């Protein structure tokens, strides 16, 4: 069988399974979506957002890119963010990285990969911010793991630095930002950062909405 046919076949049995449990499984979700979570994850095929969280269709609004980056000039992630926050009014935004991330690994190397250099450059910037801490770690695998964690931490900061998030914090008292890392070897998620609404943001990135501070 051609490999892609396997996917189409699996789709048929998936539909049958779902309908067996709930005949209105699909119909009940056709009108609208009201996800509570925005998931910003890595494109890596081993980190499927719904599978690792046990989420059903309709629960996660998902954006994935290489190494789960929130880049302040990327219209794609910013459009997803604005829609999720202002229209869907998600209560939580999760940035989920993962150990053994190829994007993070390549950012630590010197190899010229062409266009993707420009994307990985953002991870090199994270490395430079924490260079001392990272280079104090002797084991290369542990260094890689630590950069994965620091990258997630910085992407959560990047979210907090957007006007979309700050405006929503001011107007709605939401969303809460979370930074998680998925462990490919165990299947477990690890919480490494969280920023509740109104968390402090470095002054230069703070927008003024007329608050008395
Ligand atoms: Co990855």
| pLDDT band with cut points at 50, 70 and 90 for residue 210 | confident
Question: CA gyration radius for the chain?
Answer: 19
* Residue 105: partners with Cβ closer than 8 Å, 6 or more residues away: 144
30 CA → ligand 1 middle, Å: 32
Q: CATH 3.40.1050.10 region(s) of the chain?
A: 37-205
17 CA → ligand 1 middle, Å: 31
Return the active site residues: 42, 44, 46, 98, 101
Residues whose beta carbons lie less than 5 angstroms from ion ligand 1? 42, 44, 101, 103
pLDDT at 133: 98
Average pLDDT on 26-42 reads: 94
pLDDT at 1: 85
- For 88, other C-beta atoms within 10 Å of its C-beta total 16
Q: Which residues of 91-116 are buried (b: 16+ CB within 10 A; e: fewer)?
A: bebbbbbbbbbebbbbbeeeeeeeee
Is 90 exceeded by the pLDDT of residue 212? no
Is 70 exceeded by the pLDDT of residue 213? no
67 CA → ligand 1 middle, Å: 5
- Can you give the pTM of this predicted structure? 0.95
Is 49:93 a contact under the CB 8 Å cutoff?
no
Is 26:13 a contact under the CB 8 Å cutoff?
no
Q: What number does CATH give the domain 37-205? A: 3.40.1050.10
Helices (H), the chain: 3-21, 49-53, 75-82, 102-107, 116-129, 131-135, 140-160, 163-172
Average pLDDT on 13-36 reads: 94
Average pLDDT on 188-193 reads: 98
| pLDDT band with cut points at 50, 70 and 90 for residue 211 | low
- The share of the chain scoring above pLDDT 70, in percent, equals 99
Average pLDDT on 78-93 reads: 98
For 102-116, how does the pLDDT look when each residue is reduced to its tens digit (9 = 90+)? 999 999 999 999 999
pLDDT at 31: 87
Judge if the upstream peptide bond of residue 37 is cis by omega within 30 degrees of 0. Answer: no
Is 90 exceeded by the pLDDT of residue 164? yes
77 CA → ligand 1 middle, Å: 16
* Residue with token string 């459009």: 79
190 CA → ligand 1 middle, Å: 15
For 63-74, how does the pLDDT look when each residue is reduced to its tens digit (9 = 90+)? 999 999 999 999
176 CA → ligand 1 middle, Å: 23
How many residues belong to the chain?
Answer: 213
């Amino acid at each position: 069988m051609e490999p892609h046919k396997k996917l189409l076949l699996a789709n048929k049995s998936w539909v049958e399974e779902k309908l067996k449990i709930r005949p209105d499984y699909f119909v009940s979700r056709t009108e609208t979506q009201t996800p509570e979570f925005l998931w910003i994850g890595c494109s890596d095929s081993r980190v499927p957002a719904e599978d690792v969280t046990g989420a059903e269709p309709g629960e996660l609004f998902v954006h994935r890119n290489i190494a789960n980056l929130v880049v302040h000039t990327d219209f794609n992630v910013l459009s997803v963010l604005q829609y999720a926050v202002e229209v869907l009014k998600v209560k939580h935004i999760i940035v989920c990285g993962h150990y053994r991330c190829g994007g993070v690994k390549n950012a630590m190397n010197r190899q010229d990969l062409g266009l993707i250099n420009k994307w990985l450059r953002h991870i090199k910037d994270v490395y430079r911010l924490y260079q001392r801490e990272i280079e104090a770690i002797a084991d290369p695998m542990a260094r890689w793991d630590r950069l994965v964690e620091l990258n997630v931490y910085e992407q959560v900061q990047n979210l907090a630095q957007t006007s979309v998030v700050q405006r929503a914090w001011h107007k709605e008292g939401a969303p809460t930002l979370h930074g998680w890392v998925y462990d490919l070897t165990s299947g477990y998620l690890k919480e490494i950062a969280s920023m509740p609404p109104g968390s402090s943001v470095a002054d230069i990135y703070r927008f003024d909405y007329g608050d008395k501070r």
